[in-house]
């Protein structure tokens, strides 16, 4: 499990790399809106369920609450997305985590962060996932018993899918990604992103109990 110092070091490295980027080009390739300023620029875009701004060259990440910093993991992931984004279009082809390069290596982390908590919380009550997902801005698809998709980044949709199971088979679920995600994030970051999509929904489910 990474320590807080690991995230701080990762953020420092990401900011160092970000300062070398062309922010206007990064905005075009990532689907962000570029806002020029005196001595600095800002990129603005929606990250899962909130609008964030990223300054250039400093790499400061501003969330909806100016008095509250975003978690370090989120800050690192946002900068990684901006740095790597190539502008690749959506393919319309959905893939699982294991189909991502190096996905097999990080699969256990993905299962613990996303798949297992998703199925444990919603497997026997898929309609609750539908209800909470819609509240959080997700869009329904017709696959599985319930499938709801979130625009995690401007160029990265993430879908949560559940099969409720029956007397013979236990419930199952997964997280699906457009195949273009391989151009935007490495497998380790995709595992982190998956957890960021799933865990707030779990928190909402516990609040309803």
Domain identity same for 57 and 116: no
> Which range marks the domain in which residue 18 is found?
4-84
Does residue 78 share a domain with residue 8?
A: yes
- Please indicate, yes or no, if residue 89 is contained in any of the structural domains: no
Are residues 68 and 123 located together in one domain of the fold?
Answer: no
Q: What is the DSSP letter of 183?
A: G
Give the pLDDT score at 3: 76
Task: With a cut of 50, list the residues of the chain below it in pLDDT.
Answer: none
Assess whether 140 and 48 both reside in one domain: no
With b for 16 or more beta-carbon neighbours within 10 A and e for fewer, the 185-209 pattern comes to: bbbbbbbbbbbbbbeebbebbeeee
Does residue 203 form part of some domain? Answer: yes
* Domain count of the fold of the chain: 2
The predicted structure's pLDDT at residue 166: 77
- Token look-up 């689907």 returns 31
Domain co-membership, 142 together with 75: no
Residue 98 lies in a domain: yes
Q: In whole angstroms, what separates CA 1 from the centre of its chain?
A: 19
Query: Do 99 and 72 fall within a single domain?
Result: no
Say whether both 130 and 187 belong to one domain.
Answer: yes
Query: Are the C-beta atoms of 163 and 77 separated by less than 8 Å?
Result: no
Residue listed under structure tokens 């516990």: 206
The strand order across the sheet containing 94-95 reads 94-95, 172-178, 156-163, 146-153, 139-141
Which among 34, 60, 84 is the end of a domain?
84
Same domain, 127 and 190: yes
pLDDT of 2: 61
> Are 100 and 199 in the same domain?
yes
On whether residue 19 sits in a domain, the answer given is: yes
Query: Model pTM?
Result: 0.94
- Residue 101 and residue 178 in one domain: yes
Same domain, 17 and 106: no
pLDDT per residue as tens digits for the range 74-110 = 999 999 999 999 999 999 999 999 999 999 999 999 9
């Amino acid at each position: 499990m990474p320590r807080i110092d690991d995230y701080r070091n990762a953020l420092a490295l990401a900011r160092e790399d970000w300062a070398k980027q062309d922010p206007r080009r990064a905005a075009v390739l990532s689907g962000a809106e570029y806002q020029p300023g005196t001595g600095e620029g800002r990129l603005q875009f929606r990250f899962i369920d909130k609008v964030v701004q990223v300054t250039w060259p400093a790499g400061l990440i501003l969330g909806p609450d100016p008095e509250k910093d975003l978690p370090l993991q989120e800050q690192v992931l946002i900068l990684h997305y901006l740095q790597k984004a190539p502008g690749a279009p959506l393919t319309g082809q959905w893939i699982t985590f294991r189909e991502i390069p190096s996905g097999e290596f990080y699969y256990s982390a993905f299962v613990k962060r996303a798949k297992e908590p998703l199925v444990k919380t919603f497997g026997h009550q898929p309609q609750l996932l539908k209800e909470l997902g819609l509240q959080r801005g997700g869009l329904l698809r017709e696959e599985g018993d319930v499938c709801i998709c979130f625009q995690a980044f401007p160029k990265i949709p993430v879908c949560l899918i559940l099969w409720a199971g029956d007397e013979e088979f236990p419930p199952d679920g997964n997280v699906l990604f457009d195949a273009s995600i391989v151009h935007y994030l490495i497998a380790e970051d995709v595992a982190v992103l998956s957890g960021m999509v799933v865990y707030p929904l779990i928190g909402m489910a516990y609040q309803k109990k």
